[in-house]
Amino acid sequence: MLLRLHKPTENFKRVIEMNPHLDRQQLDRNTMTPFSHPEFDGHEEVAFCNDAESGLKAIIAIHNTNRGPALGGCRMWPYASDDDALTDALRLSRGMTYKSALAGLNMGGGKSVIIGNAKSMKSETLFRAMGRFVDSLGGRYSIAEDVGISVADVEMMAQETEFVAGTPERGAGDPSPSTAYGVYMGIRAAVAHRLNRSSVSGLTIAVQGLGSVGWNLCKYLSDDGAKLIVTDIDQTVIAHAVESFGATAVTTDAIYGVEADVFAPCALGAIINDETLKLLRVPVVAGSSNNQLAEPRHGIELHKRGILYAPDYVINAGGVINISHEGPEYDMEKAFAHVAKIHDTLGEIFKRSEASGTPTFQAADHLAEERFRRETLTSSAA
Ligand code: NAD
C-alpha cells in the first residue's frame, strides 16, 4: 500500500495540548498529520509506504523539486514512534533541498526512512518492496545510502527501480573521499577568510573522528603541511594517524579544548552545544559531521564569539556532488573540480554573513533559498 497524504487532518500539537494525559505514542499513531507537523515546510509530497509481505514500513518525503528531481539517502532506524520517523523524513528532505541548491546541482531535496532495526530486519523482499515504492514515484525521487543502509541494500532496490544513486556500477562509488576533499577545500576557504591564509600549511587542525571522511581529510591536510591533533574512540586508528601523519593524539574529551586554528568535527552530530562551546579555543569550526549545531542558538553563539562556522550541509556536500556526476560518462577529475567549488560557495557565504552581520548558517540558508525558490529561479531565468 502506498498512502500519499494530500489533505490535512487534525492538528497534532493542539491534540497533545488538549489531552496531556493521553499516551503520546498512541496519539502519534492516531493523529499524525504532515501538514500541521512542526517540521512541515511546504513539502511537495509525503508518501507512507506499507508492504505487508515484507513488513516494510517507510516514509518518503519530497521537499522541493524546483531545481530538478529529488535525491536523498534512505535511513533505516528503529524509531520509537511513527512521529519520530516522520520528523526525520521531513527535516532531512528539507536539508537536502538546501544542500543541493548550494552545491549548484539541478536536483531537489528528498529523503526516505525505513522504520526498523538495520541489524535484524533487513531482507531482499523488504528492499525490493522499497524499490517498487521509489519506482512508483516515477523519478521524482532517487534513493541512495544513509545511516543503516549499505550499497548492497541499494543494489537490491535497484532490481526494482532505475531511480537509485551511489552504487559502484554507476561510477561514483564510496562518497567519503569526495566528501573529505570538499571539507578540505572548505577549510581552506575558512582560513582564507578568518586568518587570511592561502593554505593550511603550518596551521594546526584538530580532527575529531578518523573514519571514512576524517582519515581522508587528514591525508589532504597533512600533504598540505598542516599539523594535526586527532582523536577517536578507536585506539588503533589513532596510533595509525600518529604514525602516518605525525599527528598528536588527545582523548575524546580533550579535543574540544585544544588550542588550534581549526576544529574539524568528523564524527558526531550536535557537537556544538552548551558544554562544548565553553571549551572551544579555535577561530574556525569546519568539518564533515551532519547537524553540528545542537540548536540554532548555538550557531548564533559561535557568531557572537567570533568563531567562523562553515555550515555543515555546505562543507560536507562533496559526496552528493560526486554522485550527481554518476553515469557511464563519469569523470572523476570533472566531479572533483565541481566539489572544489565548495570553496567559493563558502567564501560567498562568509562575505554575506560579514556584510549583513548574520551568523553563517543563516546566510547559507538565505543563499540556498534564493537558489531554489520558484520566484528567484524564474526571475534569474528571465
Ligand atoms: P565513520 O563512521 O566512517 O567515522 C566516524 C568516526 O568517528 C569513527 O572512526 C568513530 O570511531 C569515530 N567516533 C565515534 N564517536 C566518537 C567520539 N565520541 N569521539 C571521537 N571519535 C568518535 O563516518 P564517516 O562516513 O567518516 O562520517 C563522519 C561524519 O560526516 C558523520 O557525521 C557523517 O554523517 C558525516 N558525513 C559523511 C559523509 C560521507 O560521505 N561519508 C557525507 C556527509 C556527511
CA-nearest residue for atom 25, ligand 1, is 212
Regarding whether 299 and 208 lie in a shared domain, the answer is yes
CA-nearest residue for atom 40, ligand 1, is 176
Domain boundary among 165, 194, 214: 165
Q: Report the separation in Å between the CA atom of 183 and the middle of ligand 1, taken as the mean of its atom positions.
A: 13
In short, whether 234's Cβ falls inside 6 Å of ligand 1 is: yes
Regarding whether 74 and 154 lie in a shared domain, the answer is yes
Regarding whether 345 and 203 lie in a shared domain, the answer is yes
Residue 262 belongs to a domain:
yes
In short, whether 291's Cβ falls inside 6 Å of ligand 1 is: no
In short, whether 316's Cβ falls inside 6 Å of ligand 1 is: yes
Regarding whether 362 and 270 lie in a shared domain, the answer is yes
The catalytically annotated residue of 111, 227, 304, 351 is 111
Regarding whether 306 and 225 lie in a shared domain, the answer is yes
Regarding whether 154 and 187 lie in a shared domain, the answer is no
Question: Which of 343, 350, 345 shows the shortest CA–CA distance to 194?
Answer: 350
Annotated catalytic residue 111: yes
Regarding whether 240 and 334 lie in a shared domain, the answer is yes
Regarding whether 183 and 116 lie in a shared domain, the answer is no
Regarding whether 150 and 234 lie in a shared domain, the answer is no
CA-nearest residue for atom 33, ligand 1, is 289
CB 221 within 8 A of CB 163: no
Domain boundary among 143, 165, 187: 165
Q: Report the separation in Å between the CA atom of 215 and the middle of ligand 1, taken as the mean of its atom positions.
A: 10
Which pLDDT tens digits describe the chain residue by residue (382 residues)?
Answer: 454 543 333 444 544 455 455 455 554 544 556 788 999 999 999 999 999 999 999 999 999 999 999 999 999 999 999 999 999 999 999 999 999 999 999 999 999 999 999 999 999 999 999 999 999 999 999 999 888 998 899 999 999 999 998 777 666 667 889 999 999 999 999 999 999 999 999 999 999 999 999 999 999 999 999 999 999 999 999 999 999 999 999 999 999 999 999 999 999 889 999 999 999 999 999 999 988 999 999 999 999 999 999 999 999 999 999 988 888 888 999 999 999 999 999 999 999 999 999 999 999 999 999 999 866 665 554 4
Q: Report the separation in Å between the CA atom of 252 and the middle of ligand 1, taken as the mean of its atom positions.
A: 13
CB 313 within 8 A of CB 364: yes
Count of structural domains, the chain: 2
Regarding whether 154 and 199 lie in a shared domain, the answer is no
Q: For position 6, which CATH number holds?
A: 3.40.50.10860
Atom of ligand 1 nearest to the CA of 252: 19
Domain boundary among 121, 141, 165: 165
Regarding whether 186 and 158 lie in a shared domain, the answer is no
Residue 100 belongs to a domain:
no
Atom of ligand 1 nearest to the CA of 312: 44
Atom of ligand 1 nearest to the CA of 231: 20
Q: Report the separation in Å between the CA atom of 181 and the middle of ligand 1, taken as the mean of its atom positions.
A: 15
Provide the residue range defining the domain that includes 195: 176-372
